[in-house]
Structure 1
Amino acid sequence: MTRLPTYFVSHGGGPWPWMKDQYGPAYAELEASLVDIKRQVGVRPNAVLVVTSHWETDAFTVSSGTAPGMIYDYGGFPPHTYQIRYPAPGQPQLAERVAQLLNDAGRPARLDAERGFDHGTFSMLAPIYPDADMPVVQLSIRHGYDPAIHLAAGRALAPLRDEGVLILGSGLSFHNLRQFGPSGAQASKAFDGWLQHVLLELPPAEREQALLNWSAAPSARVAHPREDHLVPLWVALGAAEQEPAACVYHEDSFFGALTVSSFRFGAAAA
């Protein structure tokens, strides 16, 4: 099996793939970038591991059910968005493997057979694998958002890339809901510029050090008052920490004014 790249994906807002009548072309660029991930990966993965910003726990937790349900973790959307189904199967064996890798690395992890798919998972996966026939396992982020812990978790999970598992970190490179519009334009651009520089231009050791000190970046705390939507980036990078990054989605008019990006770590298929 080819070693698969990892990704940090800006997943958009709520159940947007099911609201094209309301949003029109607002998500066209993001959708195209997600669709293209399947091409970049080049092979059919054995399964997908989603590190989701919408699941926080005190210890790493892995969804281990065989047929995960749905979690509609949003409010104020049309009634039909609370009937969405993304019927991808779970994969208990992969969940156990993820937990084992984390535990062996000294990062306590447990299983949760009841956890369903949250919108950070199903909204992002729907354009990539619309048939929902790819086994999907979710990994939580840890309370406290410690960059070093999440980078280390990524390192522990790196062997999965040689086992046909596609690791997708699902968050958003700008996540300040009070400034989702023109008021966030300057901060999102400044933080995105820093992120592009760090991920694309710095050597691995310096890249990691910069991310450990991410809160010193320009407009960092405006871009992420709570860094839950940045945390999956650290896991995705940790699993490919010596490999080059590529920007696979970049838009400076998200929600009319915001600059947001997604990144791949490791090589795309030829």
Structure 2
Amino acid sequence: MNRLHFLKMLASIQLIGASMKLEAFEKMSNNFSNTKKTPLIFIGHGHPINALLDNDFTQQLSKIGTSIEKPNAIMIISAHWTTKGTFVSVNSQPKAIYDFGKIDDRLLQIKYEPKGHPQLAREAIEAAANYQIKENSSMGLDHGAWTILKYLYPKADVPVFE
């Protein structure tokens, strides 16, 4: 098993809420081939108004985006969806969703529209084939995603799926 397959599996476990003991992950990682490591980052988005601000938080996000190698794609795991079931977006052109109520009208003017990555999204679903994960072709990017991504990759040039 290589790191990419491990990360796909790890992502699918996060998607399905399954639990696995750390010892099992350690045993699996002993079988890694020598592949390049990709960073796994957790970033809490804070208040949506940060999408408008130039502060320590947003400056650090920008630094992260320029300090790591640009990924081929970004998988977002979000708790902002209320659905009957678990879904992964296979939308090839996800649009920003303004799902935060009336905070500041300037937020509605921000456009962040990266390409999606339907192929990788389907691979994540397939990796969790034993679970009832469905694809959704109309999901966009919730504010927990785009308010962060606009600082990490302001050109929206990294495909994203959620």
Aligned to 2:135: 111
2:155 partner letter = D
Residue 93 of structure 2 is aligned to residue 67 of structure 1: yes
Q: 2 CA distance for matches of 1:47 and 1:107?
A: 23
- 1:4 aligned partner: 38
What do the CA deviations read for 1:162-184 (whole angstroms, capped 9, x no partner)?
Answer: xxxxxxxxxxxxxxxxxxxxxxx
Q: Distance in 1 between matches of 2:75 and 2:56?
A: 24
Aligned to 2:78: 52
TM-score norm. by structure 2 comes to 0.71
Alignment-derived partner of residue 64 in structure 2: 37
After TM superposition, the structure 1 = structure 2 runs for residues 65-144 of structure 1, keeping only pairs within 5 Å, are 65-103=91-129, 106-138=130-162
Structure 2 residue aligned with 1:14? 48
Moved over 3 A (4+): none
Name whichever structure is richer in helix by fraction: 1
Change (3 A) 1:3 1:114: same
Q: CA deviation at 1:98?
A: 1.0
Equivalent residue runs for 1:99-248 within 5 Å: 99-103=125-129, 106-138=130-162
What are the superposed Cα offsets for residues 211-263 of structure 1, whole Å, 9 maximum, x if unpaired?
xxxxxxxxxxxxxxxxxxxxxxxxxxxxxxxxxxxxxxxxxxxxxxxxxxxxx
**Residues in 1 aligned to 2:67 and 2:132: alpha-carbon distance in whole angstroms:** 32
The two structures have a TM-score, normalised by structure 1, of 0.44
State the alpha-carbon separation in 2 of the partners of residues 119 and 40 from structure 1. 23
Match for 2:153: what amino acid? Y
Cα distance in 2, alignment partners of residues 36 and 56 from structure 1 = 32
> Structure 1 pair 107/17, CA: closer, same or farther in 2 (3 Å)?
same
Mapped partners of 2:40, 2:133: distance in 1: 21
What residue ranges of structure 2 are gaps of 5+ in the alignment? 1-34
